[in-house]
Amino acid sequence: MKTGQMLSIRIYSPQLKKHQTAFVIKDFAKNIKYILNNTNTASARCCVNVSGNAASLIYLIGFGEHNNPLYNYWFNYHSKSINTHELEDLSYQDTVDYLLVDHKNKLREVLRIKNILVDAAPIYVNLAKEMYWTPSEFKQLQNNIMRDFKTYREIWNSIPVNMSA
């Protein structure tokens, strides 16, 4: 995993006695320190996009007054690297844990933030179960979206506020 990226994982919560989806954010120590100083201003947005035969659930989370740094994750239901249970977990989890890892792969902190994917995840799962796409079709969807928006900040700004937390 590269510095500045976010990745979803499925972990077992001993407190809840069940699996849940969490996100790993890997970044430089100075960015993690900034995040930890701005957890009260964390906000997230998500949207479901369909292009051609493919669909994606894009999840963005930002920290601080200007939501910077801004991290993104593209859920691809038909990817071999995603556990489809991750999306199902997000359909019922009230909160999501974020494991903040520095550039040396040292766990610095775990944050717990309200889950805004609770409504979007089941919509995406139901849509994805009715469709099938290849990795190249998904890549084309990503290319189309990034051609239209250019940056993740533009995607963020295009998502209605009611889809954010």
**How many Å apart are CA 60 and CA 72, to the nearest integer?**
4
34 pLDDT above the threshold of 80: yes
* Residue that is written with structure tokens 């790993």 in the block: 24
What the block records as the tokens of 39 is 């957890």
**Domains of the chain, residue spans:** 5-159
* pLDDT per residue as tens digits for the range 116-150: 999 899 999 999 999 999 999 999 999 999 999 98
Alpha carbons within 13 angstroms on the beta-carbon side of residue 153 total 5
* pLDDT per residue as tens digits for the range 55-84: 999 999 988 777 778 999 999 998 877 767
Give Cα 145 distance to the centre of its chain. Answer: 16
